Amino acid sequence: CAWLSHARTHAVAPSPVRPPGQPSGGRERGMAGLHDPCSHPAATRLALKLVEEQFGETCRTVARALLYHGTQSLGDLRRSAGLPLPHLKAALLVLMQHNCVASWLHAEPPNLRGESRVEQLYEALPRAMLHGLHAPRYLIHVKDSLGATAEAVALKLLQHGRLRLDQVVAALQSEDAAAASQGQGEEAQTTPQRPALEIQAALLRLVRSRLVERAPVCHLPPPRREVHPNARKKKPATKPGSEEEAEQLRARAQDQAHAAYHAVRFKIPTDLVETAVPARAPDGASLAHEPARGGLGTSGAQADGSVGGKRTADSMPPACPPPPKRGRRRVKADSGQSAPSATPAASLPASSAAAPPAGHSTPQPLPGVEEAANLPAANILWRVSLEEFNLRLRNEAIADHMGSRHGPAAGAVVAGMLAAHAARLREAGAPAADGERTVLLSEAEVARAVAVHEPDMAGAGPAPDVPGTLSSLAAEWASPVVAAGDPPAGARQYSLDIAGALGALRQGHLEVLLHDRFGPEGLRIWRLLRACRQLEQKQVADFCMMDAKDAKVKLHAMLKAGYIALQDVPRTADRAPSRTFYLWRADVRAACAAFTIELFLAAGNLHARLAHELSQRAELLRVLDLVNAGLAGPGALAERASDFSRIKRVTTLLEAGLLDVGASLALFLGD
């Protein structure tokens, strides 16, 4: 954490949510809040820098308008960005192509005439913009696990955002042809052109490993925003035909549309499996035996992805109609029967003429989702899976942490448990981040996973004793490994508490930072507040064996940085300081948010320093480009060898620091 010493401290806003156990009359200051750290100004500035560096100033203007003003339609975005419409559409298409902006199809509830306003909404994705920080680590992971061809496929997807299979094949083959034409003699013969089937098999391995997924369609509804449990209002039971019931049906239809996409994110179509080369997957399974799978393709990402296109109510799914107005019921004098209500059933859609009771109605899925699930492989757009790669980084960090604390054998066993858990989720089609605990795994399953995913450790020396290591880890009270079953019967199973292991890993990072920033006294105060939950300033000074003035200075410095909180509990209504208790608290979740902000600040400083160094040495870089292009001789480099060595050393250090920050961000942004 040496690179964090140069990061600027930032006072964060207090959390509006009262934590459990806090008295109702108290106020708390200094918590980093429960908001998303990616919405912090430091994260926004860094994301905009990366967008401008990759796509230009126009895309940065559009991304800035979306980040600062939230989800907008095309008309609102045109007013907030202040760009001409052609430039705005082109920038939006570039950002959507590179997965930095998501497009949602929003349909308002229909009125009494059955008319519904439909518009396309655009939302910025700051986490996808920040993915460029650890893109090199992504390529290294793909090359180590799946080979060089898979790395080339992943590189093309990172460079172009979303591509079809034929586009990936054409790009790689043209690159191989260009490399062969530039080479001479033996070098040209050692770089043959990769066949299309080999590239196709590499893409299959990436999809099976969940490192590449299908791009979502553009006619998905906006996802529902999760409301904090403390902010939810208690609502009475919905009545049949009420507006609340219609809102619930619309929300259920939105959830079904997103569930339909997530069900086919990593599924491979039948024609792609039948024509692929039978290659061995990392887990030993053959790609030729992959079951027939369908998924989403270009029906939403291309045909429905035109920016600003007008839509009509006829091309939209049947939305839930509004409840009929309850008017007075008139009685006919001749027949004595009641007349229809104020809104006749004939004027409403057929789906609302006879509304089913609440709890028994099934909303209709969006049209196009099922059709896109059966598209051929040639029409499917593929992109890298950021979520799965962050999980890979998290699992590697957890295994390394367990190995450093309990030995290399424990690290290998924990890595095997995480790999076996991921394989179980892939077989069941469940999300990769589903649950805070792994499924129950037998000793044989863990041993097979260790043999497959830890070949270096198994071949360098004696294989780790999986049953003994699992038993010793389960016997420790602070270990995240939990045992279940009856040992004499041979049916003992184990599970790993992922949330507990991740919390211990994050707390270790926090303690290292607190020790570097505030010294051993600050770390002692943090551990004391974690153990005692809340203490007064005098108690903190006494328990830590510190002078009262030194304890006050440390407490206020940590409060300003956002790692601890101050809570005032008044004894009277006037909140007089002489009649008020001031309690200090430490919360790991709030401290993690503050640490994430520090990471964003450090990454921004490193990125700015790297850009400054490159701009100051622009002449050297121009000479290097001329030498690489063959327009200048090697003597031009020899004349300024010292300058080239310095800029190489500085850029290597700064880029390595950015990679470390990106790995830490993936660890702390995993929720």
Write out the DSSP string of 35-68.
Answer: S-GGGSHHHHHHHHHHHHHHH-HHHHHHHHHHHH
Query: What is the spatial distance between Cα 74 and Cα 84, in angstroms, rounded to a whole number?
Result: 12
* pLDDT at residue 527, as a whole number: 95
* pLDDT at residue 458, as a whole number: 42
Query: Computed from CA positions of residues 409, 410, 413, 419, in that sequence, does the dihedral angle turn out positive or negative?
Result: negative
Task: Tell me 231's DSSP state.
Answer: G
Written in H, E and C, the secondary structure of 237-265 is CCCCCCHHHHHHHHHHHHHHHHHHHHHCC
**498-532 vs 641-668: helix axis angle to the nearest 10?**
80
* pLDDT at residue 133, as a whole number: 87
Query: What is the spatial distance between Cα 379 and Cα 539, in angstroms, rounded to a whole number?
Result: 67
Strand partners, 120: 105
Q: Reduced to 3 states, what is the DSSP secondary structure of residue 582?
A: strand
Pick the closest to residue 586 from 523, 512, 652, 516 (CA basis): 523
- In the sheet that 72-73 helps form, which strands lie side by side, from edge to edge? 72-73, 118-124, 101-107
Per-block average pLDDT, block size 10, for the chain (671 residues)? 42 35 44 65 94 94 95 94 95 95 87 79 93 88 91 94 93 88 57 84 91 88 74 71 75 80 82 56 37 38 44 44 46 38 35 36 46 70 89 89 90 91 82 76 90 59 80 88 71 88 91 94 95 93 94 95 92 88 91 92 93 86 76 71 86 91 84 56
Which residues lie below 8 Å from residue 69, measured CB to CB, with a gap of 6+?
A: 76, 80
Q: Which fold would CATH assign to domain 1-35+497-671?
A: Arc Repressor Mutant, subunit A (1.10.10)
Domain 135-180+192-225+241-324+362-384 classification at class level: mainly alpha
Long-range contact set of residues 291-294: C-beta below 8 Å, sequence gap at least 24: 293/264, 293/267, 293/268, 293/269, 294/264, 294/267, 294/269, 294/270, 294/373, 294/374, 294/375
Strand partners, 105: 120
Query: What is the spatial distance between Cα 394 and Cα 667, in angstroms, rounded to a whole number?
Result: 6
* pLDDT at residue 102, as a whole number: 94
Name the residue with tokens 């019921």. Answer: 329
Pick the closest to residue 253 from 129, 371, 362 (CA basis): 362
Written in H, E and C, the secondary structure of 630-644 is CCCCCHHHHHCHHHH
Question: Are the C-beta atoms of 96 and 124 separated by less than 8 Å?
Answer: no
DSSP states of 510-570 as a string?
HHHHHHHHHHHHHHHHHHHHHHHSEE-HHHHHHHTT--HHHHHHHHHHHHHHTSSEEEEEE
Q: Reduced to 3 states, what is the DSSP secondary structure of residue 442?
A: strand
Q: Exposed e or buried b for every residue in 8-19, given b needs 16+ CB within 10 A?
A: eebebebbeeeb
The enclosing H or E element of 124 equals: strand 118-124
User: What tokens were used for 564?
Assistant: 């601890």
User: What tokens were used for 17?
Assistant: 């949510």
* pLDDT at residue 617, as a whole number: 82
Phi, then psi, of 384 in degrees rounded to 5 = -75, 150
Judging by DSSP bridges, how do beta strands 481-484 and 493-496 pair with one another? Answer: antiparallel
The enclosing H or E element of 627 equals: helix 618-628
Judging by DSSP bridges, how do beta strands 72-73 and 481-484 pair with one another? Answer: unpaired
Query: What is the spatial distance between Cα 537 and Cα 375, in angstroms, rounded to a whole number?
Result: 66
User: What tokens were used for 118?
Assistant: 């439909």
